[in-house]
Amino acid sequence: MSDSHACDVLVVGGGPAGALLAYLLASRGVETTLIERQTDFDREFRGEILMPGGLAMLDAAGIEIAKIPHIKPRQFRGYRAGQQFFELALDEGLEQLPLSVSQPHLLETLVTASEAHGSFRFLRGAAVRDLLRDGDRITGVRVQGQSGEERIRARLVVGADGRASVVRRKQGLPSRQLGTPMDIVWAKLPWPERFPQGEFRFYIGGGHLLIAFPAGEDGRLQMAWVILKGTYGDLRSRGIEDWCRAMVEHVDEELGAHLLGHISEISRPFLLDAVTDRVQGWARPGSLVIGDAAHTMSPVGGQGLNVAMRDAVVAANCLVPVLRDGAELDEAAARVEFQRGPEIDAIQRLAALPPRVILGTRFFHSWARAFVARAVNTPFGRARALGPIGLFLNGTEEVRLEV
Ligand SMILES: Cc1cc2nc3c(=O)[nH]c(=O)nc-3n(C[C@H](O)[C@H](O)[C@H](O)COP(=O)(O)OP(=O)(O)OC[C@H]3O[C@@H](n4cnc5c(N)ncnc54)[C@H](O)[C@@H]3O)c2cc1C
């Protein structure tokens, strides 16, 4: 095995954090290598809800969302114990909306835009296996590519390789775990004929929450069924047909009948073990972690993509000036956590609250759900709810692309 090449920044992982950072760096003349283990972005399961705070990052980077398949919500409808309790048409106060965006298309767009720059190199279908070191400094990676193993040296290795990050694991970066009381079942169904276009539905009940919404690109209905942690193992052993029959118990009659009628057409079924954690010390000599690799987000509030792309913008702001000047990188890399930490902590705390109320099985949880169901139908209750919703939509800190 030999050293194949060297670059300024080597980004491990072509998810939203890594692909956006690589594009921002390469388009600003930084010699950047992006390594993605999948040969096709569609092969890694990815979330699709993108908040305005993340969309603003793409906009600032010059990536036009209009050219990427996406769906705008038109209304939200909530059900509790099978009865509709809430309806919000989207001309009623939320100006900026989350979108359901095709992540494979988004990532492909970012990579294509990066490839227009001579400073960009993309290794697709190559997995980073280990880190190269010089004393306590990370100096590159060992990669298993399609034509064998190679070593790539870099001034900075950025781990944007998701929740099971190799860059994080190989350095043994310490992390703080936050309890996440749920797991999630994901499945896509053919679109039900009478389900209104652009509708997002919530079915709330003791120990579960089921969300049904349009998938970002293919005209199918995405089901996200949030279940209490601990029931996951049981479901996993039961298989897809049994999951669907269990889901039917939590939706309205019409959607239930649709589910039962289309079990054989369910695509991409997936059980997600929900995790929330935050690495302490994202930057080490020669390395930095961002996105899920630095802070795996609870799925509550659809924040993972959002905060990953906001990390990428802040990382570009911190790194580009020193990379251009050939100055000391470690201090610039350390500023990323300093700037991003407060928003990550705030969002993780905020996201921990709803599952306790929505999924709780005690009497007072049921009382709290009934209270919330009534409150959101009053002008005062709606106004109070818009505060925390606004934080999920736009983030808690101002993030701007400055380079
Ligand atoms: C089922 C599910 C549904 C979700 N739904 C939503 C949602 O609706 N909205 C939302 O905001 N968030 C959602 N999320 C969370 C969201 O997908 C993540 O928070 C977000 O993708 C994090 O982006 P990232 O770039 O940090 O990491 P990732 O998107 O995980 O990307 C990491 C990339 O690194 C690659 N990689 C990993 N290891 C290596 C290696 N050793 N070598 C090379 N490449 C490697 C992976 O293939 C992957 O492409 C969901 C997550 C899951 C699993």
Note the pLDDT tens digit of each residue in 319-336: 999 998 877 899 999 999
The dihedral through the CA atoms of 166, 11, 295, 107 has a sign that is negative
Compute the average pLDDT of residues 1-7.
73
**Pocket perturbation via mutation, ligand 1, pick of 20, 23, 37, 290 by most ligand atoms within 8 A of CB:** 37
182-228+230-273: same fold as 3-71+98-177+276-356+381-394? no
User: Alpha helices, DSSP H only, in 175-290?
Assistant: 232-238, 240-248, 253-261
For the chain, give every domain's residue range: 3-71+98-177+276-356+381-394, 182-228+230-273
- Between 111 and 45, name the one with better pLDDT: 111
Q: How far, in Å, is the centroid of ligand 1 from the Cα of 203?
A: 26
Q: b/e for 189-203, b at 16 or more Cβ within 10 A?
A: beebeebeeebbbbb
Label residue 170 by pLDDT band (50, 70, 90): very high
CA 378 to ligand 1 centroid distance, Å? 37
Fold of 182-228+230-273: Alpha-Beta Plaits (3.30.70)
Lowest mean pLDDT of 110-114, 370-374, 392-396, name the range: 370-374
> Cα–Cα distances in Å, from 197 out to 71, 191, 194, 200, 222?
9, 9, 9, 9, 13
Residue nearest (by alpha carbon) to ligand 1 atom 50: 47
How large is the average pLDDT for residues 349-355? 77
With residue 139 as reference, give the H or E element that holds it.
Answer: strand 137-145
Please tell me the distance between residue 142's alpha carbon and the centre of ligand 1 in angstroms.
21
Which protein residues touch ligand 1 with a CB less than 6 Å away?
12-18, 35-38, 44-49, 127-128, 160-162, 166, 186, 270, 272, 291-293, 297, 299, 302-306, 308
In ligand 1, the atom with minimum distance to the C-alpha of 46 is 17
Question: Would you tell me which CATH number, out of the four given (3.30.300.30, 3.90.920.10, 3.50.50.60, 1.10.357.140), belongs to the domain 3-71+98-177+276-356+381-394?
Answer: 3.50.50.60
Residue range 63-90: mean pLDDT, rounded: 85
Please state the pTM of the whole predicted model: 0.90
Nearest CA, atom 39, ligand 1: 161
